[in-house]
Amino acid sequence: MDYCYYGKQQGPHKRRRGICMINLLSDDCLFLVFEKLDSKADRDSFGLTCHRYLDIQNSSRKCLRTSNKCISSSMIAKLLDRFTQLQSLTVSTRCPDFSNSIITKLPIHGSRLHSLDLSNSLNVSRFDLSYCSIINDAVVASVASSCPSLSTIRLRHSCVTDEGIKYLATKLGRSLKRVDILGCSQITDLGISHLNRNCRQLTVLRITGCSKIVGASILGLPPTLVALHAKECAFDATLVSGALVRSGGCSLEYLDVSYPWYKHELASLAFGFPATLKVLNLQCCNLVMDADIINISKGCPLLQEWNLTGCGRITFLGWKSIASHCQNLETLHVNYCQGLRDESLLDLGKGCSRLTLIYLATRYIGIRGFRSFKKQRPDVKIIQSWPSIPVRTSSRYI
C-alpha cells in the first residue's frame, strides 16, 4: 500500500519531496482505525507499518499480563516504557530485583492504572519462599503514591505488613474497591482496621489463609462490602460472634468461610449470616448442625448458591428447613453429606422450586433415590464429582 503522494518528476533523476498521507490523519482517526480491526493478526501487524502506527498500537493497549516465568527487571521496565496507557497490570514477581523496577517505573507510568496484580504464583509461594520478600512495604508505598486511580490490588503470598496496608488505605482510600491479600501471613486485624476506616468504597476483601487475622476487625467492615473471602482462617469465635449481623447496614452477598482451621470451626458459624446473602460456602465446616441450617435458611431468604460439601452432621430436619425456606436456591453442593438420604433429597426437589444444579457425590443415596429425584425434577442437573466445584466467582465477587 502506497501512503505517500509525490509531485511531478523534474528531470529523469529529480523528484519533489512527497507528502506522507499518514501525517494528514490525526491520532484520533488512527485510533478509530485500529479499534475497527477485528482479527488478532491484523491488530498485531498494525504497528509494523511505521513508527507512528506502532505508537498508536502501544497506546491502545490497556491490559498487560506476563507469564509466571522469571523475566528480568529490565524487560519489565521496557514493557512499562512501551505500553504507557495501561489500566490493568499483572506481572510475575519471580525476578530478584523486581521491586526496584516497579519502584522506578510506577511513578512515571502508574497514574492510569486501575488494577494491579503483584501476586506470587501458588507454586512459588509453597516451594520457594525467597520470592515472597520481593513484594514488601516499600513496594506497596510506591504503588500507593504512584497509582492514585487504583481500584483493585492483589498482593497474594507477599510479605506486606500492617504498615503497607496502612499506606494503601491512607493514599487510596477514595478509589480502592477490591483488595486481595490471600496468604499474607504478616497482616493482622490492625491492617484490616485501616482498610475499614479509610476505604469506604471497598466491595471485595479476600483474606484467605491470613493466619494472623483472628476476627477483631470483622465488626468494622464497611457497609459497601459485598464479598468476603475468608477461607482457611483461624478466627476466634468470641471475637467474631454476630459480627456480620451487628455491623450496621451490612450488604454482604458472598461469604466464604470454608475449610476453617482445626479448633476454629465454631468461628465459621459465629459470624451471623445477614439476610442479604446470596452465595454461602460452608464446605468442610464439620460442626454445622441442624440448628445452624435452620437459622440460616430462615434468615437468608435470598440464597442462590449454598455449599455444604462435607457437612456430615445435617439430618432430615436441616434438609427439610432448606426445602421449606430457600425458595431462591439455584445451586446446592451436598457432596459427602452423610445425613442426606433419599427422602430428604426428594424434599429438596419438591421445596426448592428454582433449583437447577446439585452437586451430589455420595454413597448414601441409592439408585432408587436418584431415579425418583430425576423423575420428580427432570430439569435439575446432577453432577457426581469430587472434589466439589467451587462456588461461582462472578466478577462482582472477585
For residues 270 and 296, the answer to whether their CB atoms sit within 8 Å is no
Instruction: Kindly list the distances between the CA atom of residue 187 and the CA atoms of 193, 194, 212, 214, in Å, as whole numbers in the listed order.
Output: 11, 11, 6, 11
Residue-level pLDDT, tens digit, the chain, 398 residues: 444 444 444 554 444 555 666 677 788 888 888 888 888 888 888 888 888 888 888 888 899 888 666 677 788 888 888 898 999 998 866 666 677 777 788 888 888 999 999 887 544 333 344 456 688 999 899 999 999 999 999 999 999 999 999 999 999 999 999 999 999 999 999 999 999 999 999 999 999 999 999 999 998 999 999 999 999 998 998 888 888 877 655 789 999 999 998 777 778 788 889 999 999 999 999 889 999 999 999 999 999 999 999 999 999 999 999 999 999 999 999 999 999 999 999 999 999 999 999 999 888 898 999 999 999 999 999 998 766 566 666 788 98
How many Cβ atoms from other residues are within 10 Å of residue 188's Cβ? 18
Cβ-based burial of 262 (10 A; exposed 0-12, middle 13-18, buried ≥19) = exposed
**Three-state secondary structure call for residue 286:** coil
Cβ-based burial of 8 (10 A; exposed 0-12, middle 13-18, buried ≥19) = exposed
Grid cell 464497611 in the structure block, residue: 222
Separation CA 60–CA 243 (nearest Å): 45
Cell representation of residue 257? 468461610
For residues 131 and 97, the answer to whether their CB atoms sit within 8 Å is no
Grid cell 443415596 in the structure block, residue: 365
Instruction: Kindly list the distances between the CA atom of residue 272 and the CA atoms of 72, 226, 296, 327, in Å, as whole numbers in the listed order.
Output: 48, 15, 9, 20
For residues 346 and 320, the answer to whether their CB atoms sit within 8 Å is no
Q: What's the half-sphere exposure (Cβ side, CA atoms, 13 Å) at 70?
A: 9
Q: At what angle do helices 316-325 and 290-299 cross, to 10 degrees?
A: 0
H-type helices in the chain, by residue range? 27-35, 40-46, 51-60, 73-82, 98-109, 122-127, 137-146, 162-171, 189-198, 237-240, 243-246, 267-270, 290-299, 316-325, 342-351, 367-376
Identify the pLDDT of residue 94.
Answer: 67
Cell representation of residue 362? 455420595
β-sheet bridge partners, residue 154: 117, 180
What single-letter amino acid sits at 388?
A: S
DSSP 313-354: T--HHHHHHHHHH-TT--EEE-TT-TT--HHHHHHHHHH-TT
DSSP state at residue 134: G
Cα-based torsion angle of the residue sequence 224, 153, 232, 302 in order, rounded to the nearest 10 degrees: 30
For residues 176 and 168, the answer to whether their CB atoms sit within 8 Å is yes
Identify the pLDDT of residue 91.
Answer: 82
